[in-house]
Structure 1
Amino acid sequence: MTSNPMEDVLDRWKAAFDGHQVDAMADLFTPGALFQGFGPEVVSGRDAVRAYYEAVPDDRSADVTLLHTYTIGQEAAGGFADVTFRDPAGWEAAVHLSLVLQLREGAWRIRQYHVSRVLKEHQ
């Protein structure tokens, strides 16, 4: 584990995402995590996170660039990253990712996850 909670969580998230390890993905989240992915609705909980990632094609990968991090005390942290999702056929989607992290069960876990699509006309 790195000394930067955001870096640690993003490293584990990328490894699980790229390996299409849906149980490992779900385990990165707190039991009551709030999750806003590409879908229009905010979902809550590990089961909803698992279902979301099960629907992602397993040939997708993510390139992650950490932008900003912060900590609040010893049990809360978060930050922002740019992520580009890709597949071998050339599909890609750039997003801004924000995370709120909580130290639980001896590890940093995602309490809140939100992506915002970066559209070409906004670049």
Structure 2
Amino acid sequence: MHEAALNRIEQRWNEASDKWDIKALARIYSSDALFFGLLPRLYIGRSEIEEYFGSYQITLKRVRLTLVDQKTRPLSETAFAAQGFGDIINYYHDGSVVKNRVRTSFVIENGAGDWQISLHHFSDLVK
């Protein structure tokens, strides 16, 4: 069940990021989600998460995320934690492409009939 939920979230994330649809990206998250992306600020709630994704609109054309080696643990009947890695491919408006692997941590909850991310944390790997 958790693997299927993660696959669905990854699919929704990639569909929204293919068009860099910041509203669709933000809807993958719960209304009160906590979000630590790769910028140095904590974003809280969908409007701030939309702000985070919007900050990339000028530079990014689209992004592809592949979740890798995810380990899950149930938190309740309607929530689970997942940690692992994410392979990110950034496609920039100038034609450049940058690949990056990040650490990922999520809390995912089943709310309003679909799985949503309520806690998101990405961090760069130490090189």
TM range (shorter): 0.7 to 0.9
Unaligned runs of 5+ in 2: none
Q: Note the aligned Cα RMSD (angstroms).
A: 2.1
Query: Aligned partners of 1:30 and 1:63: how far apart in 2?
Result: 19
- Which residue does the alignment assign to 1:85? 89
Q: Is the 8 A contact 2:37 2:120 kept in 1?
A: yes
Query: Aligned partners of 2:3 and 2:98: how far apart in 1?
Result: 34
How far residue 34 of structure 1 moved from its aligned partner, in angstroms, is 0.2
Query: Aligned partners of 1:8 and 1:74: how far apart in 2?
Result: 18
**For residues 19 and 78 of structure 1, do their structure 2 counterparts lie closer, same or farther at Cα, with a shift above 3 Å needed?**
farther
Q: Is the 8 A contact 1:7 1:66 kept in 2?
A: no
Query: Aligned partners of 2:12 and 2:72: how far apart in 1?
Result: 16
- Which residue does the alignment assign to 1:59? 61
How far residue 76 of structure 1 moved from its aligned partner, in angstroms, is 0.1
Count of aligned positions: 120
Cα deviation code 1:17-68 (max 9, x no counterpart):
2220111111111111000011112110000000111111331322413322
Query: Aligned partners of 1:31 and 1:63: how far apart in 2?
Result: 22
How far residue 70 of structure 1 moved from its aligned partner, in angstroms, is 3.3
- Which residue does the alignment assign to 1:4? 4
Query: Aligned partners of 1:78 and 1:10: how far apart in 2?
Result: 15
**2:118 is paired with a residue of what secondary structure?**
strand
**For residues 78 and 10 of structure 1, do their structure 2 counterparts lie closer, same or farther at Cα, with a shift above 3 Å needed?**
farther
TM-score normalised by length of structure 2: 0.81
2:123 matches 1:116:
yes
**For residues 65 and 31 of structure 1, do their structure 2 counterparts lie closer, same or farther at Cα, with a shift above 3 Å needed?**
closer
1:105 aligned to which of 94, 105, 112? 112
Higher strand share: 2
Query: Aligned partners of 1:38 and 1:51: how far apart in 2?
Result: 13
How far residue 3 of structure 1 moved from its aligned partner, in angstroms, is 6.5
Unaligned runs of 5+ in 1: none
- Which residue does the alignment assign to 2:41? 41
